[in-house]
Amino acid sequence: MPSIDALVSTPSLFALLVLAAFLVGLSKGGLPAVAMLSVPILSLTMSPLIAAILLLPIYILSDVVGVYLYRREFSMENLKILIPAGIAGVMVGWLTAAFVSDRMVALLIGVMGVSFCLYTWFLKRPDASAQPAATGKGLFWGTLSGFTSFVAHAGAPPFQIFVLPQKLPKMVFAGTTTLVFAAVNLAKIIPYSTLHPYTGSTLGVSALLLPVAATGTVIGKKLIQKLPDKLFFLTVQAALFCISIKLIIDAS
């Protein structure tokens, strides 16, 4: 693990850390899937493991801002299903960490994301009615979301596959996303600490980047408030498609 001095004193590396933290903040502000780009960006100059260790505290601290911003805008029905399922998925990821490869998980997530987008764009009727938050489906996709979030910081695709067909109002969708993953990230603390203990250096870098992430969170909410609903959900789907393609390529 590089020292905090080395991380901060190398301009190119610190710039990537700032960008990654800002993307995490944007995601917590309601721009789903954007944060999935943070680990790949940092992986250009460090191992994915170190990147994940650095980013989890930033995720959690950004969650505090995001939960406050969306404290009145969320789907309680979805929270009741997805939070317990997501935490269960984290536990599954913890128990199977020694047996499941990142490549296999990345391929699974990528195929699911691409399939969902292609179905939505080319096969699903535009005037199809909103689907209910079915408990059985929610438990499946929520557990899978928690699992993929634990092993690859990539919980957004399974979450979106379940929630997008419900056609929730834009701000409710964003708030539900933020609150669900706030709970999932809290559930990662002990498992991550046992697998890869945090150091003072790690937490020091995270503390430096917190203002960047918090700023991104506020900007993220302001952006989605201004985006038309149709453009917002198209943006979400496009981000999901691009990230899914990248995951498939990385796993090849």
Look at residue 99 in the predicted model and tell me its pLDDT: 81
String of DSSP letters for 16-55: HHHHHHHHHHHHHTT-TTGGGGHHHHHTTTS-HHHHHHHH
Which runs of consecutive H residues, i.e. helices, occur in 153-228?
156-163, 170-195, 200-226
Percent of the chain exceeding pLDDT 70 equals 91
The 10 Å Cβ neighbour count of residue 124 is 12
Smallest CA-to-CA distance from 217 within 7, 34, 13 is with 34
Alpha-carbon dihedral sign for residues 95, 189, 159, 210 = negative
Look at residue 13 in the predicted model and tell me its pLDDT: 80
Mean pLDDT of 78-87: 98
pLDDT digit string, tens, across residues 206-221:
888 889 998 999 998 8
pLDDT digit string, tens, across residues 33-42:
677 778 777 7
pLDDT digit string, tens, across residues 116-169:
888 888 877 767 788 999 999 999 999 999 998 887 777 888 898 899 899 999
In whole numbers, what is the pLDDT of the chain averaged over residues? 84
